[in-house]
Amino acid sequence: MKKLLEGSQAVAEAVRLCQPQVVAAYPITPQTHIIEKLAQHVANGELDAEFINAESEFGAASIVLGAVATGARSFTATASQGLLLMTEVLYNIAGLRLPVVMVCANRAVGAPINIFSDHQDSMAVRDAGWIQLYVESNQEAVDTMIQAYKIAEACELPVMVCMDGFLLTHTFEPVELPTRLTVDEYLPAFQFARVLDPERPMTLGGASEPENFQEYREDQHGAMENTLTVIEAFDVEYEEHFGRNCGSLVQPYRLEEATTVMVGMGSLMGAMRDAVDELRFAGQAVGALRVRCFRPFPARALTQCFKGVERIIVLEKAISIGAGGIVAAELRAALQTAGITVKVESVIGGLGGRDLTPEVIKAIFEESPTVEMNRFAPDHNELTLHQTGDAGDAGNVGNVGNVGNVESLETRKGAPHG
Amino acid sequence: MDSRDPFRHNVLTSGHRACSGCGEAMAARMVSDLIGPDAIYINATGCLQVFSTHNQQSSWQAPWIHSVFANAAAVASGVEAALRARGKDTPVIVQAGDGGTFDIGLQCLSGMIERGHDILFVCYDNEAYMNTGVQRSSSTPHAVRTSTSPPGRLSQGKTQLKKDVISIMAAHHMPYAATATVAFFPDLKAKVEKAMTIKGPRFLQVLSPCPLGWVHDSALSVSVSRLAVETGLFPLVELEHGELTGVMRLAEQKPVEEYLRPQGRFKHLFGSKEGTVELHHLQALADARIRRYDLLGADTQWTTATAMQSQRHGRGGYAVSDSLHERPGSQGAQEVKADA
């Protein structure tokens, strides 16, 4: 039976079903509802875990590091500034090959400070050695959470479940929660070989030298690449158990005979589907493709999706400042390696919670390709204003300037009001 | 277990790469030997981590983990939580230098104590960032020469005071916090053993001379750290739930110059007018600490003179605090609140 659940509640229920023994976190919007719910589960005796209120996200990540190294399945969650504060520990967890699982409730990174959703936080730590899975819906957050523990523990690599802040964490959707019994059948009990134990003393995290450091990284990279087949296989197995899948590595939508394909990640896919449906109805040969697994980068699975495609547009909610779209750059490299010569347009949008509506997506589809490597997505309000001809105050929505832009903000504010 | 000495575990075994005369290696060997191999050791980044693990080699004969510089107390919190969740009571020990305790690790340490984790945190305090080449830390004493507090025409070394970390610990009202040095092994032993009988967060600050950074003869590590105590610059104290419960009295007060002379890090203070002013400051600091902890009090049972007479080195043991509580002479000391 489906339940109407906020994304945070849904993911907390999924975590409870996986029975972590240690939960450590530090509050940050929009992640907080997840750990509040877990704290309540522990308080009610519904989750038999140690709930540790960390003194910072750096501490929270370190606590789950220690807990997993001591043989306890663990959980933490964060977002934005908190994820960046964890960065040093994230690299360390991955380097120690500890199967830690966490949720990143994707949020913009300041300055200017902004609590709303984009992918800048998790993209900033994309090279830390974590598997990154971007979910589209609350249902998928639940299902990916359960898969994440199985992937992490099978591969001895940490997994970051990335779910859009507010758009998912604070949005209610009908969600089917698996039963504890079926989760137990799918997800084996926690097992980890390199546990801190006086019976088998082991040194973890010792110093390394130039003659072997690179081999550690080669092993880590190889292990990451090997998880591609594991992620696929565990999604198939999940469907056998629960009757649903999470979209494997990449999830195509109406790619049949599509000549223009838009690529995106996370909850954005919903709006992309709507836009594709409308454009298809109008007779345009468009399709969409969601990258569910961004790390490891599914180059082969991705490039196989573009047979007969003449135009690829990557719409992404993060920017490598001074370089442009990150997914676009990686896709270009993958296509070039595969000998595919389709031009990839990079569009940056949805930053700091700016809405990427079907209208915006349709407009992007309809824009002519530019000579620039990257361009920014149009604003929904400006688009709809233009369409309706209504010159109300809505024209200023979204134009909140940062400190360096006060003057232009004033000018802009001044204009319509005389 | 060492076959030649059934009392030794060699948790930190020989073959590591510490410098000769390393106070931290000495202290870590003593502490880990007293605790034994049935414990989980968490190490902050620093000299101890670097010299004891090297390229797939390790000197640790107990489970040991190093993560990063700042997070040892948080990693330990996770280790302890996992043990609790798994129904185990293996002791959890953190080892960190003064950088990993006073500076970059202070936030995680404070969190660990506030949450009440059952962990012994041992700080091997060598009063600067020795691993990176002797830069000043907040533990570096006043007027010390380091590579980032160099004396010069306008400077007599570090201008600030050594951070009073034991008072910060006591202000957490933690069950047990104490200072010790490698010079008084029976005292160190009594404190480690006492700490191991107490549940909850415990803290031990062990003054650990660094011949390289303090610029003294490597044969003098023990005597230099003894002088730190005998001059009053490094009081040996115990605090329980914020209250002062143990003090090692000074049989006699030695002038700070006796402590400063053998160390090159204070050399710039001798022979100049400005240096003489700083020498007076350092003597005044020692005098203030002596007054604060009543180090010259009437108590004669537990003093710098008697502490070494307990039993032969390595076997001694004192029941410190019980006797202190009952002694009339310790009243003055108990009135001194660490966080007053």
Express each pLDDT in A19-78 by its tens digit.
Answer: 999 999 999 999 999 999 999 999 999 999 999 999 999 999 999 999 999 999 999 999
Instruction: Say whether domain A252-397 belongs to CATH 3.40.50.920.
Output: yes
Chain B closest-CA separation from residue A96 CA (Å): 8
Polymer length in residues for chain B: 340
pLDDT band of residue B318 (cuts 50, 70, 90) is very low
Are the beta carbons of B137 and B148 closer than 8 angstroms? no
ipTM of the complex as predicted: 0.92
Is B167 an 8 Å CB contact of chain A? no
Position A385 scores a pLDDT of 81
In this complex, the residue of B60, B62, B74 whose CB is nearest that of residue A62 is: B74
The answer on pLDDT for B323 being more than 60 is no
Contact A88 B56 (CB under 8 A): no
pLDDT (average), residues A127-147: 98
Are the beta carbons of B213 and B126 closer than 8 angstroms? yes
Are the beta carbons of B82 and A67 closer than 8 angstroms? yes
Residue B254 lies in a domain: yes
pLDDT (average), residues B47-72: 95
Residue B169 lies in a domain: yes
Express each pLDDT in A53-64 by its tens digit.
Answer: 999 999 999 999
Residue B5 lies in a domain: no
pLDDT (average), residues A252-269: 98
Express each pLDDT in A328-347 by its tens digit.
Answer: 999 999 999 999 999 999 99
Position B306 scores a pLDDT of 74
Position A391 scores a pLDDT of 46
> Which residue does chain B place closest to A199, by CA atoms?
B38
In this complex, the residue of A49, A205, A212 whose CB is nearest that of residue B66 is: A205
> Which residue does chain B place closest to A206, by CA atoms?
B53
Spell out which residues of chain B touch residue A49, defining contact as CB-CB under 8 Å.
85
Residues A312 and A307: their CA atoms lie apart, in Å, by 11
Looking at per-residue confidence, does B312 or B8 come out higher? Answer: B8
Identify the CA nearest to A93 among candidates A108, A83, A81.
A83
> Which residue does chain B place closest to A59, by CA atoms?
B74
Position A396 scores a pLDDT of 47
> How many domains does the structure of chain B reveal?
1
Which range marks the domain in which residue B155 is found? 68-335
Express each pLDDT in B137-164 by its tens digit.
Answer: 999 999 999 999 999 999 999 999 999 9
Contact A70 B115 (CB under 8 A): no
CA A39, A43, A46, A48 dihedral sign is positive
Structure tokens at B135: 């830069």
Looking up residue B329, the CATH number of its domain turns out to be: 3.40.50.970
Contact A204 B64 (CB under 8 A): yes
Are the beta carbons of B310 and B318 closer than 8 angstroms? yes
Chain B closest-CA separation from residue A220 CA (Å): 17
Residues B260 and B239: their CA atoms lie apart, in Å, by 28
- Test mutation, B71, B118, B131, B132, chain A, max A CBs within 10 A: B71
Residue B114 lies in a domain: yes
Order of all β-strands in the sheet with A311-316: A250-253, A286-291, A260-264, A311-316, A344-348, A374-376
pLDDT band of residue A414 (cuts 50, 70, 90) is very low
The Cβ of residue A254 has, within 10 Å, a number of other Cβ atoms equal to 17
Structure tokens at A8: 């945070």
Express each pLDDT in B248-297 by its tens digit.
Answer: 999 999 999 999 999 999 999 999 999 999 999 999 999 999 999 999 98
Residue B33 lies in a domain: no
The Cβ of residue B71 has, within 10 Å, a number of other Cβ atoms equal to 31
Residues A232 and A225: their CA atoms lie apart, in Å, by 12
Position A305 scores a pLDDT of 97
pLDDT band of residue A395 (cuts 50, 70, 90) is very low
Mean pLDDT score of chain B, rounded to an integer?
Answer: 90
Residue B34 lies in a domain: no
DSSP label at residue A377 = P
Contact A211 B55 (CB under 8 A): yes
Position B322 scores a pLDDT of 37
Is B334 an 8 Å CB contact of chain A? no
Side chain identity at residue A243, one-letter code = G
The Cβ of residue B37 has, within 10 Å, a number of other Cβ atoms equal to 17
Residue B2 lies in a domain: no
Structure tokens at B239: 């605090």
Who contacts A377 (Cβ-Cβ below 8 Å, separation ≥6)? A315, A347, A348, A349, A350, A354, A356, A360, A364
The answer on pLDDT for B168 being more than 60 is yes
Position B6 scores a pLDDT of 64
Position B56 scores a pLDDT of 84
The answer on pLDDT for A98 being more than 80 is yes
**How many Cα neighbours within 13 Å face the side chain of A3?**
12
Residue B195 lies in a domain: yes
The answer on pLDDT for A92 being more than 60 is yes
pLDDT band of residue A394 (cuts 50, 70, 90) is very low
Q: What percent of chain A has a predicted confidence (pLDDT) above 70?
A: 92
Spell out which residues of chain A touch residue B67, defining contact as CB-CB under 8 Å.
62, 65-66, 89, 92, 96, 205
Q: CATH topology of A2-242 equal to that of A252-397? A: yes
pLDDT (average), residues B240-247: 95
pLDDT band of residue B54 (cuts 50, 70, 90) is confident
Q: How many CB pairs under 8 A join A and B?
A: 164
Position B330 scores a pLDDT of 38
Express each pLDDT in B179-206 by its tens digit.
Answer: 999 999 999 999 999 999 999 999 999 9
The answer on pLDDT for A412 being more than 50 is no
Express each pLDDT in B94-115 by its tens digit.
Answer: 999 999 999 999 999 999 999 9
- Test mutation, A21, A26, A55, chain B, max B CBs within 10 A: A55
Identify the CA nearest to B228 among candidates B191, B189, B265, B276.
B265
- Lowest mean pLDDT across A55-59, A126-130, B327-331: B327-331
pLDDT (average), residues B121-136: 98
Position B8 scores a pLDDT of 80
Could you tell me the residue ranges of all domains in chain A? 2-242, 252-397
> Which residue does chain B place closest to A212, by CA atoms?
B55
E strands present in chain B: 40-43, 53-54, 57-58, 64-66, 92-97, 120-125, 176-181, 202-207, 237-240, 243-247
Spell out which residues of chain B touch residue A85, defining contact as CB-CB under 8 Å.
none
pLDDT band of residue B305 (cuts 50, 70, 90) is confident
The answer on pLDDT for B312 being more than 70 is no
- Test mutation, A70, A100, A219, chain B, max B CBs within 10 A: A70
Residues A188 and A280: their CA atoms lie apart, in Å, by 44
CA angle B322–B324–B327, rounded 5-degree value:
115
> Which residue does chain A place closest to B72, by CA atoms?
A62
Residues A335 and A261: their CA atoms lie apart, in Å, by 14
- Test mutation, B17, B58, B65, B94, chain A, max A CBs within 10 A: B65
**Architecture of domain A2-242 in CATH?**
3-Layer(aba) Sandwich (3.40)
> Which residue does chain A place closest to B47, by CA atoms?
A207
The answer on pLDDT for B117 being more than 80 is yes
pLDDT band of residue A372 (cuts 50, 70, 90) is confident
Position B241 scores a pLDDT of 97
Contact A67 B61 (CB under 8 A): no
Chain A closest-CA separation from residue B85 CA (Å): 6
Helices of type H across A96-174 = 120-124, 138-155
Position B324 scores a pLDDT of 38
